[in-house]
């Protein structure tokens, strides 16, 4: 006989010796959840065990779930290298190890070891960036959105900023250039049309109120066909002539020339810096392949003014970010790009991916087929530009497989009604987890 009277009170359960040493608050919540399930089962007329050992098992299970972190690793088998929902660029293991000592102990974050006096927290990474890129000065903030806001707020509050209508972008749903601009206090002056903006349009829009000419990278869309835009070089020249600031919100920056013909559509950071804008900013965790940060490069006098803005304090990055970024910059400087996962994933040859797929297929308990395919870099970079890849297409109902693998924290994708694991973002180190998941799924777990 199953009825509600068999369920003990929560207070009673808290004193059971089986739960000695458990956190009381979490145990209370776990017990409530377990009992709610039992009541639902009873109400539905389902058979449910309410003896003490069964209750202990159920409560323990819910307790374990409460104590398991929600933010946890997944295997990215989507093939999208900078997957916004999966944390964008992964941090390189070696780079993480190098930053570990700084993070877990004390460090010279704001301490000048030579003078024995207060130092500048931004200097460490700035110096590394200056040496790598030959830029005049650099500043690091929390993310590129913060960089855009800080720059506009510092130089253009109550003043006009000229931007092309073709570049009023929205990124990732919540970052819209016109709204960020309004929040910063800058007045947006739109010039040109959606598909065509010439340098003469910028020129005609300059008034006594103009503070800045801004270019925004079209990160997640392309305008094709009958279109034209002013280059950053043209904008910089005009700004210089009129005594204005020229700022390039580049979004994503990369250093080595890109493979797969991607470089034809974009300029590398070293190329852009041959004719440096007064200010330039980009994300640390897009193609740069580092950690979440906004990297600002530019003229020293301007960066000094950014540092004097009180708002910088709110966008300040911690020692972990600064250390991870400095080590990423040093990896570039030493030519050790194999330490930067986003880059090696992008550069891996299709032949290497094919061999990887074959090794996975060999030991996978679900029958599969190796296929050539295409994927994207993602994360608001290189829009509409496909790159070659190799996938393992699994036999079986695609939606069911997708959900079953997702339950095991393996995120694949569906392509032509088949569930596929894309080798561009899967590493050899992920194989064991994939084999195990496939075995469980095959066994009906």
Ligand X SMILES: *Cc1c(COP(=O)(O)O)cnc(C)c1O
Q: List contacts with ligand X (CB under 6 A).
A: 143-145, 148, 169, 171, 175, 216-217, 219, 249, 251-252, 283, 294, 380
**Residue nearer to ligand X on the CB measure, 173 or 225:** 173
Which ranges constitute the DSSP H helices of 46-122?
A: 52-67, 93-104
Q: How far is the CB of 87 from ligand X (least distance, A)?
A: 12
Taking the alpha carbons at both ends of the chain, their separation in whole angstroms is 30
Q: How far is the CB of 102 from ligand X (least distance, A)?
A: 22
Q: How far is the CB of 265 from ligand X (least distance, A)?
A: 14
Q: How far is the CB of 343 from ligand X (least distance, A)?
A: 18
CB 90 within 8 A of CB 84: no
Helix, strand or coil, per DSSP, at residue 50? coil
**Residue nearer to ligand X on the CB measure, 251 or 276:** 251
How long is the chain?
A: 445
CA distance 443 to 368: 16
**Residue nearer to ligand X on the CB measure, 27 or 258:** 258
Structure tokens at 348: 């891996």
Q: How far is the CB of 293 from ligand X (least distance, A)?
A: 8
**Residue nearer to ligand X on the CB measure, 202 or 315:** 315
**Number of C-beta neighbours around residue 54 at 10 A:** 13
Q: Is the dihedral of CA 210, 214, 220, 225 positive or negative?
A: positive
Q: How far is the CB of 283 from ligand X (least distance, A)?
A: 3
Q: How far is the CB of 234 from ligand X (least distance, A)?
A: 19
**Residue nearer to ligand X on the CB measure, 126 or 291:** 291
Chain CA centroid to CA 279, Å? 23
**Residue nearer to ligand X on the CB measure, 50 or 144:** 144
Q: Which of 170, 168, 141, 444 is nearest to 281 (CA)?
A: 141
CA dihedral 34, 39, 41, 44 (to 10 degrees): -160
**Residue nearer to ligand X on the CB measure, 180 or 421:** 180
CA distance 282 to 241: 25
Q: How far is the CB of 162 from ligand X (least distance, A)?
A: 17
H or E segment and range at residue 206 = none
**Residue nearer to ligand X on the CB measure, 216 or 360:** 216
**Number of C-beta neighbours around residue 369 at 10 A:** 13
Using CB atoms within 10 Å of the CB of residue 51, give its burial: 0 to 12 exposed, 13 to 18 middle, 19+ buried. exposed
CB nearest ligand X: which residue? 251
**Residue nearer to ligand X on the CB measure, 163 or 390:** 163
Q: How far is the CB of 249 from ligand X (least distance, A)?
A: 5
CA distance 6 to 19: 20
Q: Which of 158, 187, 155, 192 is nearest to 279 (CA)?
A: 155
CB 425 within 8 A of CB 81: yes
């Amino acid at each position: 006989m199953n009825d509600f009277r068999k369920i003990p009170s929560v207070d009673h359960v808290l004193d059971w010796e089986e739960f000695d040493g458990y956190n009381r608050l979490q145990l209370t919540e776990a017990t409530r959840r377990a009992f709610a399930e039992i009541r639902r089962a009873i109400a539905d007329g389902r058979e449910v065990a309410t003896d003490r050992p069964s209750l202990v098992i159920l409560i323990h299970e819910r307790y374990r779930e409460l104590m398991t972190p929600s933010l946890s690793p997944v295997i990215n088998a989507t093939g999208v290298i900078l997957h916004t929902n999966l944390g964008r660029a992964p941090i390189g293991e070696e780079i993480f190890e190098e930053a570990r000592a700084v993070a877990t102990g004390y460090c010279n974050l704001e301490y000048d070891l030579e003078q024995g006096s207060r130092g500048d927290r931004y200097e460490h990474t700035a110096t590394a960036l200056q040496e790598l890129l030959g830029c005049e000065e650099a500043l690091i903030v929390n993310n590129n959105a913060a960089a855009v806001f800080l720059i506009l707020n510092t130089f253009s509050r109550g003043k006009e900023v000229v931007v092309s209508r073709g570049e009023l972008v929205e990124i990732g749903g919540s970052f819209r250039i016109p709204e960020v601009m309004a929040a910063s206090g800058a007045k947006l002056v739109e010039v040109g049309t959606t598909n065509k903006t010439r340098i003469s349009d910028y020129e005609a829009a300059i008034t006594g109120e103009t503070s800045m000419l801004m270019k925004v990278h079209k990160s997640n869309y392309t305008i094709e066909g009958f279109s034209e835009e002013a280059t950053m070089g043209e904008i910089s020249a005009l700004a210089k002539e009129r005594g204005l600031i020229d700022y390039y919100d580049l979004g994503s920056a990369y250093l080595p020339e890109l493979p797969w013909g991607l470089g034809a559509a974009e300029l590398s950071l070293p190329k852009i810096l041959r004719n440096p804008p007064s200010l330039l900013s980009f994300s640390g965790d897009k193609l740069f392949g580092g950690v979440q940060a906004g990297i600002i490069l530019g003229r020293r006098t301007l960066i000094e003014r950014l540092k004097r803005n009180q708002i910088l304090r709110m966008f300040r990055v911690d020692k972990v970010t600064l250390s991870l970024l400095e080590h990423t910059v040093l990896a570039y400087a030493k030519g050790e790009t194999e330490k930067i996962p986003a880059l090696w994933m992008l550069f891996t040859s299709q032949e290497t991916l094919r061999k990887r797929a074959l090794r996975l297929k060999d030991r996978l308990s679900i029958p599969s087929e190796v296929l050539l395919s295409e994927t994207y870099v993602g994360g608001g970079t290189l829009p509409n530009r496909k790159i070659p890849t190799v996938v393992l297409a699994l036999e079986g109902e695609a939606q069911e497989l997708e959900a079953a693998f997702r339950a095991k924290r393996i995120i694949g994708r569906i392509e032509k009604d088949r569930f596929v694991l894309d080798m561009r973002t899967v590493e050899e180190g992920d194989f064991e987890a994939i084999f195990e998941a496939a075995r469980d799924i095959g066994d009906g777990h």
